[in-house]
Amino acid sequence: MNRIFIIVVLLFMKLSCFSQQSIDSAYLKVTYLEDFVRNADNLSKKSNDELVLNIGKYSSEFYSLREDRVMQITDSVLAAGGNGFQVHDAYADLPRSRQKFRIYKNLYSDNKLIYIDEVNANLYYKYNETIEKPIWTFLQEKKEIQGYACQKAKTKFKGREWAAWFTTEIPVSDGPWKLCGLPGLILDAVDSDSLYHFYCVGVNKLSKKKPIKIFKTKYVACDKKEFYSAMEQMYEQPLEFFKRFGLISAKAIDANGRPAKLPVRKYVDLEVLESAKK
Amino acid sequence: MRKLLLVLCGIVVPFTLYSQTFSGEIINNSTDKPIETASVSLLQTDSMTIAFSMANSSGRFSVTVPDGKKAKFICISCMGYAQKWIPVQGYNEGGEIRLNPKDIMIKEVKYVSKRLTQNGDTLTYSVSGFRMPHDRTIGDVLKKLPGIEVSSDGQIKYQDKPINKFYIEGMNLLDGKYKLATNNLSAKAVKSVQVLENHQAIAALKGKNFSENAALNLVLEDKAKARILGTVDVGLGVEDKSGSVLWDNRLLSMLFNSRMQNLSMYKNNNTGNDVSQELKVLTIDKINQLTLAGESNTLSSLSVGSPDLDQNRYYNNNSHLFTFNNLWRIKKETDLRVQASYFHDNEKQDGSSVTTYYLPGQILNIDENMHTVHSKDEIEGSVTYNINNTKVYLKNNLKFNLNFADNKGWILTNGKLTDQNSDLDKQVFSNDFQLIRNYGKNVFRICSLNKYSNLPQHLTITPGQYPDWLNGGNEYDFMQQDLRLRSFVSHTYSSFQHKLLGMYVDYKVGLKVKSQSLHSVLGVSGNNFPEALRDSFLNRSRFAETDLYLTPSISYQNYSFKGKVEVSTNFNNLYQHNGTMNKYSGSESHLLFEPNIYLEYMLSALWKIDGLFSYQHSYSDIYSLYPGYIFTSYRSASANGNDISLSKFMNMNISVDFKNPIKGFFFDLSGNYSPGHRNTLMSSKFNGILQQTVCLKKDVDSKNYGVNSTISKTFSFWKTFFRLNSFYSASEDTQLWSEVLTRFRSESISSSLSVTMQPCRFVDWEISSSYFYYRMKTLEPQETEYTPVRNFQHKFSFNVFPSDNWQFKWTSEYYHSSDKNLKSSFFSDLSLSYIIKNSELQFSAMNLLNNTNYERKSIGTLSEYFSVNRLRSRQFVLKYLFSF
C-alpha cells in the first residue's frame, strides 16, 4: 500500500513538472476592439470582440478578453466541483465572441510564435511557427489615436494587405494578432477588404505584474497546416471531422439512406494560407 | 569561385554606392551593458519614420535609408529608457550610443469592457441550410446537424448525452415520446433547431443545480403556425408467395399555436414495420432520478425467439396505432397536457427448434414445431399538470396503462401436439409528483413516485400434461393455471447540496417501499387431482421491502481530473408471508453500505484513462419467493422456497482512450471484472421434457469479466472510414443440474469490421463483416467442452443519387455459420424513390431472393439451441406520401 502511495505521489510530481513555468511577466496591457467577419458567405455582417495584448519584457500574449473571462469562470467553477449548468449559468450574461485563439510571441524561445485555438468543444490545437516580420512600407500620414501620435504603414502579410497605425511613443515592436515589426506599438490595423479591424481602446500600465504563460488546458500539438486543415474540415465537412474520433454516427444518412450533404460553411480566418489562395 | 565573387560584388556594390547605412551599438549609460530590443528609426524632417531596425541581443544595429528618401534624424527608443534623437550629420558611424534609464511613462487610456448580452449557450441551426430535397421529416435533418446523433431507436443525443427535453415552439407537447414528432413533422415546417446546451428545464433550479444534458427546441416557420398541418400516406403492395395484399398508411394532423398544441395520428401497416416504437419514452428525467422497475409477467408466451435480423424481415404484423397529444398553456408558466394512445397488433409466427440439454451422462433433445398468434391491445393515457417558474416547480403526472395480450400457440413436441394459450394482462396506474421550491439560496425539493400494478395471468394447456404427476397417471383433457401478481411500489426522496473545501457534497435521503403479492392455483380437468398435491401448486405469498437510505457523495473536478465518491447507507427491512397450508412468515433487517467510486484522468489532449469501482447488494423479491410450483410454460415449472436470497457483487472497470484527430486515429480499450456472491443455488432437473426449477439455500460464487476494444481510422482517399470492434466476455456460475453440482463457464467473442467509402457525391457504399464465437465449458464436477458455435454476417449497402429528386438503394446481407448443417442465408433488397414538391413516390422490393427460412444455432446454459424462423417472403410496396 505504501509503495503504491509513493508511486502515485511520484507520478503526480512528474506530471507537475510538465506544467509550463512562467519566465516573463507583463507590465503593459493594451486593449483592442475588433470588428470581424465570422461567416465567409456573409461578409457584410460583422461580429465584434474585445482583445488584450499583454506586453512583457521579452514576450507578449494576445487573446480575447471575452472568451478569457468565460474560460476563467469555467475553470473556477469546475475547480470548485461544479460543472455543466453552473458553469453555463455563471457566464450566461456575459458577451461572447467565440474567438478562442491565443497568440504568444517569443515566449519560450526567441522568434517563435505559439498559436492555440479551439477547434471543437474543448478540443484545443497548438502549433508553433517562426515569427515572420512583415516588410512595412512607411507612409507619410499621421494621426492621433487615443492621444498617441501615430504614423501609417502598410504591408502584405499572411495573405492579406494590412494598413496599420503605430506610435513610437510606445517603443514596442508588437501589435494585435501576429502583426509586429514596427518601431512602435500598432494601435490600429485594418485589412484591405475591411474584414478585420483592430483598434486600440485602452492602454494600462500593470502595477502588479501579470505572468505570461500558456493557459492551462490539454492541447493537441500539430503543425500549422494540420491546424488549418482541421479547422476547414470542422467548418466545411463537420461529419468527416467527427470520424477522426471514431464516431460511427458521423456517417450521416437520412431516413431514406442517403448521405447527408451539409451546406458548405466556408472557413474564414485572419491568415490566408498559401495553399488556400489560388 | 572567382565568378561567384564577381557576381556577389555586383550585387553588394550598387547598395553601398547608392544607399546610406547607419550602424552602431546601444549601451545602457548606467551599467555600460548593451541594450537589446531597442528600436532604431530613421526620421525625415517632419519626424516621419522612413526606415526602422531592431538592435540585436548584443545591442548592435544597422539601418539603411530607403531609395529616394533622406534621413534627418536617427531615433533610438527602448522601453524603460529615455528616447534619443541624433542628427544624421553628426552621427558617429559604428560608434556607441548611450541611453539613460527612465521610468516607463505611459499615457494611460482607461477602458471599461461593455457587457453585451448574447444568447448564452444556445446553438441555433437554420434548418433550410441542412435540408435537402429528399428530407421529409425533421428527424432526417436532425441526423445531419453537427454534434447531434440519432440512435437506431430514435433517441437524440447531443455530444454523446441524451437530450433531456424536446420542445416545439418552447412547449413540451410530447414529453419524451418525441419520436412522434421527429418521424412525422415535416422538415419544411421547421425554421430552425435550437440546441440549449446544459439545459436546466426547471426554472426554480437555474444556477442551483446543474444539468449536463442539452434540450432541443424546434422553431417553426411562420406559415406552419396556427394552422393545421397534415400528412397523408397511402401505400399498397403485394406479398409474392401468398398473394396477400399489403398496406402501409398514415393520417396525421398537427396544430401549433401559442395557447395550444396538438398532434394526432392514425397509422397502420402489415409490412413488418413496428409503429409502437413511436410511443417509446426517450428522455431521461434526470431531475427526478427515481426509477421503479416495472413488474414483469411470470408466465411466458410461446415464441421461437427473435432472430438476429432486422425486425421487418420476420415481423408478420397487422398493426394499428392511434395517438392524441394535446397541450394547453393555461397561464404563462402553467401547462396542462393530455396524452392518449391506442395500439393494436396481431402477430403470427412460425418456426421450429431443437433444444439440446447436456445432462450428466445424458443428452436430452426437445424438438418443437410451433405456430403462434399473438394479439395485443394497449391503451395508455396520462394527464400532466406543470407549473414552472423561478420560485416553484410543480409537476404531477397521473398515468394509466392497460395491456391485454392473448397468445395462442400450437406446438408439436417430439411428435406430440399441444395447445398453449396464455392471457397476459397488465394494468398499471402511476402517479409522479415533484415539487421544488426555491427560497433564495436554498432549495427544498421532494419527489414521490407511486405505482400500482395488477397482472392477472392465465395459462391453459391442452391436452393435460404430466398425468403421472398431476392426475394419478390418468390422461386428462386440459390443465389450467390462474395467477395474479399485484404490487405497489413507492419511492420518495429529498436532497440537498453544499460546498466544502472546493468540493461539492451532496446528501440524498429517501424511502423505498415495495409490497407484492402472488396468488396462483392450478386446476386439472376431471376430479383426479390428488388432494395432497394441491398445496404444492398453490401460492398465497406476500413480500414487503422497506428501504431507508442516506447517500452522501463528494465530487471534485479540475481541468484534468474528475472524481466522485459516493457511499450509500441502506437500512432494509424485509418481510414475507406465505398463506398456504404450511403457513410461514418471517422478517429480517439489514444495514448495508454500497460504495461507488469514479475517477477520470486526462493525461493529455490525446489520452484519457478512467476507472470505476462499485459494490452492490440485491435481494430476491416475490419472483423468487413462492413455495408452490408455477408452470411458466407447458414444459417448465418452477418453485422457490421461503428463503430470501441476498446477492453481493463488485464491479471494477478500467478504460483507456486515445484519439488523435490529426491522424484521424481513434483507439479505445476497456476491461471489466465483477465477482459476485449469493446465498441461493438454482436447481434444474428434467422429468421427461418438463424442466423443474427450484431455489435452494447454498452459497454460490460467480464472476463475469470481459475486454472490449475499438480502433478506427479515417483516410482522405474516397473519404474512407475504417472501424474494427472486438469484444470478449466470459462468465462463470454454479447450478445444481440434474442433482449434480455443476460449475460452468461460457465465453463469447465477437469482432466486426466495417469500411465506408464515398468516391463522389452521387455514390457511396458500406461493407461490414462480423464474426461471433460462443463456447460453453463445464469446470466441475469434471471438465467438459461442448462444440462451439461460430456465426458470420456480411452486409453490403450501395446508394446512388443521380439527382436530388432521385435515389436508389441496394442492400445485400449474407449469414453463414461454421456448422455445415446450417443453411446459409442471403438477402437482397432494392428501393427507389422520386420526389416532387410536397409529395414523394417510393417503391421498395424486399427479400428479392425469396428466402423464407432463417436457421441459426446459439448456446445457452448447458444447452444448445437450434432454430428455424419463418421469414416474410418477397414483397413489393408502392407508397405515395403527401403533406400539406
* pLDDT above 70 (res B201): no
B60 and B87, same domain (yes or no): yes
CA distance A91 to B651: 38
Q: Which is higher by pLDDT, A140 or A3? A: A140
The model carries a pTM of: 0.72
A249 and A127, same domain (yes or no): no
Least confident of A5-19, A48-62, B726-740: A5-19
Chain A residues near residue B144 by CB distance under 8 angstroms? 239, 252, 254, 260, 262
In a domain, A118, yes or no: yes
Chains A and B: how many Cβ contacts under 8 Å? Answer: 249
pLDDT tens, B445-495? Answer: 788 999 999 999 999 998 888 888 888 788 888 899 999 999 999 999 887
The answer, for B111 touching chain A at a CB cutoff of 8 Å, is yes
Average pLDDT over residues B559-578: 88
B874 and B727, same domain (yes or no): yes
* pLDDT above 50 (res A253): no
The answer, for A22 touching chain B at a CB cutoff of 8 Å, is no
Closest chain A residue to the Cα of B711, Cα to Cα:
A246
Cβ-contact B520, B484 below 8 angstroms: yes
What is the model's pLDDT at position B17? Answer: 43
The answer, for A109 touching chain B at a CB cutoff of 8 Å, is no
Instruction: Residue B874: give the domain boundaries.
Output: 716-884
What is the model's pLDDT at position B611? Answer: 93
Cβ-contact B53, B122 below 8 angstroms: no
In a domain, B777, yes or no: yes
Cβ-contact A180, A165 below 8 angstroms: no
pLDDT tens, B754-805? Answer: 898 888 878 888 899 999 999 999 998 889 898 899 999 999 989 888 887 8
A87 and A201, same domain (yes or no): yes
Instruction: Residue A245: give the domain boundaries.
Output: 238-267
Q: How many domains does chain A have?
A: 2
Q: How many CA atoms within 13 Å lie on the side-chain side of B620? A: 22
B80 and B181, same domain (yes or no): no
The answer, for A259 touching chain B at a CB cutoff of 8 Å, is yes
B149 and B30, same domain (yes or no): no
Q: Do A244 and B659 lie within an 8 Å CB cutoff?
A: yes
Cβ-contact B744, B861 below 8 angstroms: yes
The answer, for B829 touching chain A at a CB cutoff of 8 Å, is no
pLDDT tens, B589-635? Answer: 999 999 999 998 988 878 889 999 999 998 888 888 888 889 988 88
The grid cell for A78 is: 469546475
Q: Do A138 and B48 lie within an 8 Å CB cutoff?
A: yes
Q: Which of B116, B135, B721 is facing A254, going by the closest CB pair?
A: B135
Q: Which of A31, A79, A123 is facing B111, going by the closest CB pair?
A: A31
B95 and B164, same domain (yes or no): no
In the beta sheet, which residues pair with residue B443?
B438
Q: Which is higher by pLDDT, A10 or B301? A: B301
What is the model's pLDDT at position B307? Answer: 87
CA distance A17 to A88: 32
What is the model's pLDDT at position B675? Answer: 96
The answer, for A2 touching chain B at a CB cutoff of 8 Å, is no
The grid cell for B691 is: 424442466
* pLDDT above 90 (res B31): no
A201 and A82, same domain (yes or no): yes
What is the model's pLDDT at position B168? Answer: 86
B758 and B798, same domain (yes or no): yes
Beta strand extents in B304-361 (DSSP E only): 319-331, 334-359
Cβ-contact A158, A271 below 8 angstroms: yes
The answer, for B149 touching chain A at a CB cutoff of 8 Å, is yes
Q: Which of B39, B560, B756 is facing A251, going by the closest CB pair?
A: B756
What is the model's pLDDT at position B59? Answer: 84
Which CATH number do you get for residue B93?
2.60.40.10
A204 and A243, same domain (yes or no): no
Chain A residues near residue B117 by CB distance under 8 angstroms? 93, 95
What is the model's pLDDT at position A10? Answer: 44
In a domain, A92, yes or no: yes
A206 and A247, same domain (yes or no): no
Residue B739 in 3-state DSSP?
A: coil
First to last CA, chain B: 86
In a domain, B799, yes or no: yes
Q: What is the mean pLDDT of chain A?
A: 78
Q: Which is higher by pLDDT, B208 or B270? A: B270
In a domain, A141, yes or no: no
Average pLDDT over residues B672-690: 91
What is the model's pLDDT at position B516? Answer: 92
The answer, for A56 touching chain B at a CB cutoff of 8 Å, is no
The answer, for A209 touching chain B at a CB cutoff of 8 Å, is no
* pLDDT above 90 (res B286): no
Which residues, in sequence order, are CB contacts of A47 under 8 Å at separation 6+? A35, A36, A37, A38, A97
Q: Which is higher by pLDDT, B13 or B761? A: B761
Which of B745, B662, B765 is CA-nearest to residue A241?
B662
B829 and B754, same domain (yes or no): yes
What is the model's pLDDT at position A263? Answer: 54
Cβ-contact B817, B808 below 8 angstroms: no
A246 and A206, same domain (yes or no): no
Which of B744, B635, B647, B633 is CA-nearest to residue B695?
B647
What is the model's pLDDT at position B213? Answer: 65
What is the model's pLDDT at position B129? Answer: 57
B79 and B192, same domain (yes or no): no
A199 and A261, same domain (yes or no): no
- Other CB atoms closer than 10 Å to residue A150's CB: what's the count? 23
DSSP symbols for B651-676: EEEEEEEEEETTTTEEEEEEEEEEEE
In a domain, A180, yes or no: no
Question: Which residues 152-191 of A have a C-beta within 8 angstroms of B?
Answer: 153, 168-173, 182-184
* pLDDT above 60 (res B288): no
Chain A: closest CA distance from residue B243 (Å):
27
Q: Do B109 and A92 lie within an 8 Å CB cutoff?
A: no
DSSP letter, residue A147: T
What is the model's pLDDT at position A217? Answer: 75
B70 and B137, same domain (yes or no): no
Place of cell 506544467: A19
Chain A: closest CA distance from residue B48 (Å):
7
CA distance B335 to A64: 42
B40 and B68, same domain (yes or no): yes
Residue B10 in 3-state DSSP?
A: helix
* pLDDT above 60 (res A260): no
A197 and A262, same domain (yes or no): no
In a domain, B196, yes or no: yes
pLDDT tens, B339-370? Answer: 999 999 999 999 999 999 998 888 999 999 99
The answer, for A222 touching chain B at a CB cutoff of 8 Å, is yes
In a domain, B760, yes or no: yes
In a domain, A54, yes or no: yes
A215 and A247, same domain (yes or no): no
In a domain, A138, yes or no: no
Residue B114 in 3-state DSSP?
A: coil
In a domain, A110, yes or no: yes
Average pLDDT over residues B205-219: 65
B80 and B214, same domain (yes or no): no
Which residues, in sequence order, are CB contacts of A129 under 8 Å at separation 6+? A112, A113, A115, A224
Which of B490, B203, B555 is CA-nearest to residue A81?
B555
pLDDT tens, B366-412? Answer: 999 999 999 999 999 999 998 888 778 888 999 999 999 999 999 99
For B764, phi and psi rounded to 5 degrees? -150, 160
Question: Which residues 773-812 of B have a C-beta within 8 angstroms of A?
Answer: 797, 799, 801, 807, 809
pLDDT band at residue B118 under the 50/70/90 scheme: very low
What is the model's pLDDT at position B9? Answer: 45
Which CATH number do you get for residue B133?
2.170.130.10
Amino acid at position A11, single letter: L
A242 and A215, same domain (yes or no): no
Q: Do B212 and A238 lie within an 8 Å CB cutoff?
A: no
Average pLDDT over residues B288-295: 59
The answer, for B306 touching chain A at a CB cutoff of 8 Å, is no
A86 and A204, same domain (yes or no): yes
Chain B interface, best mutation among A32, A41, A88, A144, by max B CB count within 10 A: A88
Which of A162, A160, A186, A187 is CA-nearest to residue A173?
A186
CA distance B321 to B266: 6
Closest chain B residue to the Cα of A31, Cα to Cα:
B111
**Residue where one domain finishes, among candidates B41, B65, B99:** B99
pLDDT tens, A186-231? Answer: 999 999 988 999 999 889 888 777 888 887 778 888 999 889 888 8
CA distance B740 to B780: 9
Closest chain A residue to the Cα of B143, Cα to Cα:
A252
First to last CA, chain A: 64
What is the model's pLDDT at position A88? Answer: 63
- Tell how many helices (H) and how many strands (E) occur in chain A: 6, 12
In a domain, B433, yes or no: no
Q: How many domains does chain B have?
A: 3
B61 and B124, same domain (yes or no): no
Highest-confidence segment of A73-77, B8-12, B127-131: A73-77
The answer, for B665 touching chain A at a CB cutoff of 8 Å, is yes
A207 and A244, same domain (yes or no): no
Q: Which is higher by pLDDT, A179 or B154? A: A179
Chain B: closest CA distance from residue A269 (Å):
19
Q: Which of B109, B560, B797 is facing A147, going by the closest CB pair?
A: B109
